[in-house]
Amino acid sequence: MLAQKLHLHDKNFLAWLAILSATVIWVILYNVIEPFANWLTYGLLALPQDSHLGQSLAFFFYDAPKLLLLLCGMIFVISLLQTFIDAQKVRAMVEKRGEGVGNLMAAFFGAVTPFCSCSSVPLFIGFVQAGIPLGITLTFLITSPLISEVAFVLLIGMFGWKVALLYLISGITIGMISGFILGRMKLERYVERFVYDIKPRSGVQIALEEKLTWRERINRSAESTREIVNKVWLYVIVGIVIGAAIHGFVPQDALTGIMGKDAWWSVPVSVLIGIPLYSNPAGIIPIVSALLDKGASLGTVLAFMMSVIALSLPEMIILRRVLKPQLIAIFIGVIAVAIIITGYLFNMVI
Amino acid sequence: MTTIKILGSGCANCKRVEQIAHKVITDMGVEAEVIKVTDYAEIMAYNIMSTPGLVINEKIVSTGRIPAPVEVSSWLANALETA
């Protein structure tokens, strides 16, 4: 028994040691990127400091490694936190709450749990089966895709903490309020009947109680970080290439007229354009950054980004399995309005 | 015979789990049947909330993630022992 315990401690210790050394390497790398990018562009390639190509390249050589490093590091930390939470636990916590507090909790947990669009249906059915009100269930279903950990990390990397937090808080608020309103609208009749008829199978061992050791948590987080970064790195690079091109070649303030604060119609138009579009959050943010650079306003750009990642055609097709078209239409409408209001708010405040 | 069920609507993650299951079965040289469960009503009978789900002999062993092959082989070995 004692030997076994020691063994476990050793393994945990080794895992922590690996994290410590990874952190040290990470910090060193992060600090040499900028001088390296400048040396590469203006030293090795000898491009003039004020040339378009030089500026574009320096932007690329700096941003690409910086964002990829940030992604690896922060997604790992977020994944580690996520090993403590899963949909089952969230359901158990939300189950006892009524509307209001329930919406707040569902929005919060929707933001922190990882989202996979293929899980929306099981999630929806699981919540409804437990007797959780429709509005609270929809809150979770809105916030979960709206707040993407990848988008959050990239926002930190490109615009800093404040904008990332603004995104997080406004996403939670949008999910909470839209879900609450949808709940008040008494839309239960637009949920497909079969959802209410599903009965758990007998003889199935349902409980999946897992007690994870730190080593397992660390391993799993490393694994899911690898998955996520594998999935998004190409989008980030392509996004940065486009961003770098805009950065270097499009004149300053070119977009002020169409996407600036004074163009009042730009928020709803951006949101409407974003609804059917679907892009990986990773691909859109570098482009967003370039748009901002050229005079588009933050509220407009954030609203566009949120509508692209929260509402998409593929997601709606999946939800159609459990929701009738009327409910899907109302769902899209309420969220779109909430995002538009948020966009205006940002444009007013900032 | 041992049955392994992959619960999921057929997204990329579910396909990865299926591949891993097949690989583990071949590597261990055991006889097991792999069944894909794509119908939501049937998936939800297992009361899981995130896919892909992996079920070995009617016991849920993992949900909402892609388990590592080592994990799958240890679950499978366990299932063979108790069977």
Kindly report, residue by residue over A90-111, the tens digit of the pLDDT.
888 888 888 889 999 999 998 9
pLDDT of residue A237: 87
| Residues paired with residue B2 on neighbouring β-strands, in sequence order | B32
Rounded to whole angstroms, the Cα distance separating A34 from A62 reads: 6
Interface check for A292 against chain B (CB to CB < 8 A): the answer is: no
Averaged pLDDT of chain B: 88
CB A273 within 8 A of CB A228: no
- Would the CB atoms of B45 and A206 count as touching at under 8 Å? no
Rounded to whole angstroms, the Cα distance separating A99 from A104 reads: 9
Proportion of chain A above pLDDT 90, given as a percent: 31
pLDDT of residue B36: 93
Q: What does the pLDDT average to over B52-79?
A: 89
Q: What does the pLDDT average to over B29-45?
A: 88
Q: What number of other Cβ atoms are within 10 A of residue A236's Cβ? A: 24
Residues of A (11-70) whose Cβ lies below 8 Å from B: none
Q: Which residue has the higher pLDDT, B13 or A248?
A: B13
Enclosing H/E stretch for B35 = strand B32-37
pLDDT of residue A183: 93
Q: Which residues of B are catalytic?
A: 11, 14
pLDDT of A75 > 90? The answer is yes
User: Hey, is A294 helix, strand or coil?
Assistant: coil
| Highest mean pLDDT of the ranges A113-117, A211-215, B73-77 | B73-77
Cβ-nearest to B45 among A118, A198, A219:
A198
Q: Which residue has the higher pLDDT, A343 or A45?
A: A343
User: Hey, is A261 helix, strand or coil?
Assistant: coil
Q: What does the pLDDT average to over A58-80?
A: 89
Q: Which residues of A125-147 are buried (b: 16+ CB within 10 A; e: fewer)?
A: bbbbbeebbbbbbbbbbbbbbbb
The band of A306, judged by pLDDT with boundaries at 50, 70 and 90, is: very high
Q: What does the pLDDT average to over A31-39?
A: 86
| Residues paired with residue B63 on neighbouring β-strands, in sequence order | B53
Averaged pLDDT of chain A: 85
Query: How many Å from the N-terminal Cα to the C-terminal Cα in chain B?
Result: 9
pLDDT of A11 > 90? The answer is no
Q: What does the pLDDT average to over A223-244?
A: 86
pLDDT of residue B7: 92
Q: What does the pLDDT average to over A201-226?
A: 76
User: Which residues in chain A are closer than 8 Å to B65, comparing Cβ atoms?
Assistant: 220, 224
User: Which residues in chain B are closer than 8 Å to A119, comparing Cβ atoms?
Assistant: 49-51, 64
**Vertex A166, ends A280 and A265: CA angle to 5°?**
75
Residues of B (39-58) whose Cβ lies below 8 Å from A: 40-41, 43-52, 58
Q: Which amino acid is at A38?
A: N
Q: What is the pTM of this model?
A: 0.84
The band of A4, judged by pLDDT with boundaries at 50, 70 and 90, is: low
